[in-house]
């Protein structure tokens, strides 16, 4: 059973036991997100990046968390499974693609039947190709479903897999298939440092706005005090991209 179908069944069970939508929202608001990740999102938005979400979560979860952290205005587009409260007050979660009627068309084993993020990325790329200026995509992810969209990125794009998570393992085993430059991250501090330096590099090279495509929001168990990003000139102290064979 796909994850979102299981979540819909779990929400039904929770509702039958008296759990309200407000109870669910309260738990979501307590979900810890590294302060550096929140700062990185706000900074990327302030720098002119067009941030988008491609997630196998659902609209209710994502909207609740973004609103709680004041991040809703940072994202121009959210691609995920629909989630809404029905007339009985129960949270319903439906698939992004109705796999009971047809396949989404991707047969990659890392893609669940309800959503292929690679197809979503292709649609975003098609939309970007209609614009006058070429946009660079920075894709961030950690799950199995983030491997397929990583395959869709071009030579001028970047992928930021979370180290020692499923997508990282797949990329390490299939580096020759990845055209984009690969920059890993392990925690919120490294997330912010790598992302903002990539954006700085793109701006300095192209002199144009970038299109930073956020593929997944993460919940982490640790919290760190706010840290300022060290100032750098050029590409000093910038992490080396992983070698990729083409």
Q: Which residues line the annotated binding site for Mg(2+)? A: 142
Annotated binding-site residue numbers? 142
b/e map 9-29, b = 16+ CB within 10 Å: eebeebbeeebebeebbeebe
> Any residues with CB less than 8 A from the CB of 40 and at least 6 apart, and which?
188, 191, 192, 195, 196
Answer for the pair 41, 203: CB distance below 8 angstroms, yes or no: no
The DSSP string of 87-148 is TTS-EEE--SS-TTT---S---TTS-TT--HHHHHHHHHHHHTTSSS---EEEEE-SGGGHH
Task: Report the C-alpha gap between 93 and 97 in whole angstroms.
Answer: 12
Q: Which helix (H) or strand (E) holds 6?
A: helix 3-16
Which two three-digit tokens encode residue 51?
């941030």
The length of the chain is 246
State the Cα angle at 10 between 94 and 161, rounded to 5°.
Answer: 65
> Any residues with CB less than 8 A from the CB of 7 and at least 6 apart, and which?
58, 93
Task: Report the C-alpha gap between 117 and 206 in whole angstroms.
Answer: 27
């Amino acid at each position: 059973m796909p994850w979102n179908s299981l979540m819909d069944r779990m929400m039904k069970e929770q509702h039958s036991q008296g759990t309200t939508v407000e109870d669910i929202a309260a738990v979501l608001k307590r979900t810890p997100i590294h302060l550096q990740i929140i700062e990185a999102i706000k900074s990327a938005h302030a720098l002119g990046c067009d941030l988008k979400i491609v997630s196998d979560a659902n609209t209710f979860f994502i909207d609740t968390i973004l609103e709680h952290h004041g991040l809703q205005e940072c994202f121009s587009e959210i691609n995920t499974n629909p989630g809404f409260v029905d007339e009985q007050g129960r949270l319903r979660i439906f698939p992004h693609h109705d796999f009971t009627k047809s396949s989404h068309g991707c047969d990659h084993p890392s893609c669940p039947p309800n959503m292929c993020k690679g197809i979503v990325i292709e649609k975003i790329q098609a939309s970007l190709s209609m614009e006058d200026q070429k946009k660079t995509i920075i894709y961030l992810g950690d799950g199995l479903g983030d491997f397929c969209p990583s395959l869709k990125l071009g030579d001028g794009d970047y992928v930021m897999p979370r180290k020692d998570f499923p997508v990282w393992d797949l990329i390490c085993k299939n580096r020759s298939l990845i055209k984009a430059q690969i920059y890993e991250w392990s925690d919120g501090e490294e997330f912010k440092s790598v992302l903002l330096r990539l954006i700085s590099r793109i701006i300095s090279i192209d002199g144009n706005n970038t299109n930073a495509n956020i593929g997944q929001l993460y919940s982490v168990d640790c919290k760190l005090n706010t840290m300022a990003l060290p100032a750098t000139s050029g590409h000093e102290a910038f992490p080396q991209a992983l070698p990729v064979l083409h």
